[in-house]
Amino acid sequence: MPEFKGKKLTDDNHYRWSFAFRAFAKTQGTKELYLGEWTCPTTGPTSKGVKAWQAKAALAAADLIAAVEESQYVHLRGLEEDPAAMWANLLLVHTTGQAATDTLTAWSAFHDAKYTDFSIHLKTHIGNILEIVDQLATIFHDPPSPDQVIARILSSLPTPEFDDAIRFITTSTRVSDRTWVTAHLLKEEFVLRRKGLLGGVITVDDGSALKFPSAMQATTAAATTSAPTTVVPVTCSNCGRRGHVLEACFQPGGPKEGEIPDWYNKRHEVKANFTEVFAL
């Protein structure tokens, strides 16, 4: 039979451990035993149904014991014949006391979440928010609404980097679709990093990491490598008009008198058409 491959239960990882173990138990056909949904039949101690349940319960108990550290054995002793009681006792031990104070702590973490560490992927940041949401739902039974979750994700993003993406999402008819919102934000993150407008690392298809400078680093690099450009207005000494020098003047008296460029003719054609339209 397959063994549980996740991290064993310790004093401080029950939330994540229980998620992984429930998934494992489902593959073993024992999840209903832990949740108390499959109880021992009352058809008699020697009936096939009772014997089948006892065999499955023994397997479930062995799986659970193998999936916890020795420090947790004390919470399971004496309950080996009742997987539901074993599971319930672990839940009691690890969640008792997580009432008002811990609920407020979780809500504070939810509202305070900010994407400021650009060395991690945006998907990791969003995942952290969703884990808090799941804790509020499964442990404290006080989850935020789907719209609150999306609003929290959007408001946790830095500005002005994500301004355009947030504006697009909030004006879309799909603003309540968390999967679509997340996908759009991850695409925007990739573009920002590629342009050097967001610090951090992204992983490309071949598994290698590409590093991009932050916006401040990119600005500093541009300032130190590019010579400053100064625009000096010039005035022609022949015609007195600004924007060109004597050598390029095609007005009467200039060295290129009569050599009227195409752009000048086109500009005056447009001006004449506008004058004609407004004169009607």
Digit-coded pLDDT (tens) for 18-38: 889 999 999 999 999 999 999
Determine the 3-state secondary structure of 24 from DSSP: helix
Output the CA–CA distances (angstroms, integers) from residue 40 to 65, 86, 140, in the order listed: 20, 15, 30
User: Could you count the other beta carbons within 10 Å of the beta carbon of residue 251?
Assistant: 15
Q: Give the H/E segment covering residue 264.
A: helix 262-279
pLDDT of residue 244: 67
Kindly give the pairing relationship between strand 209-212 and strand 200-203: antiparallel
Q: Please give the mean pLDDT across all residues of the chain.
A: 80
Give the start-to-end residue ranges of the domains of the chain: 14-95, 100-212, 246-279
Decide if pLDDT at 144 tops 80.
yes
Decide if pLDDT at 60 tops 60.
yes
pLDDT of residue 250: 78
Decide if pLDDT at 95 tops 80.
no
Which tokens belong to 14?
């029950």
Do the Cβ atoms of 213 and 222 come closer than 8 Å?
no
pLDDT of residue 13: 86
List the one residue out of 5, 9, 7, 3 whose CA is nearest residue 72.
9
Q: H helices of 161-212, where?
A: 163-170, 178-194
pLDDT of residue 241: 74
The listed range with the strongest mean pLDDT (64-68, 135-139, 217-221) is 64-68
Q: How far apart are CA 79 and CA 169, in angstroms?
A: 52
Decide if pLDDT at 240 tops 90.
no
Do the Cβ atoms of 150 and 123 come closer than 8 Å?
no
Residue 87: pLDDT band with limits 50, 70, 90: very high
List the one residue out of 26, 23, 28, 53 whose CA is nearest residue 40.
53
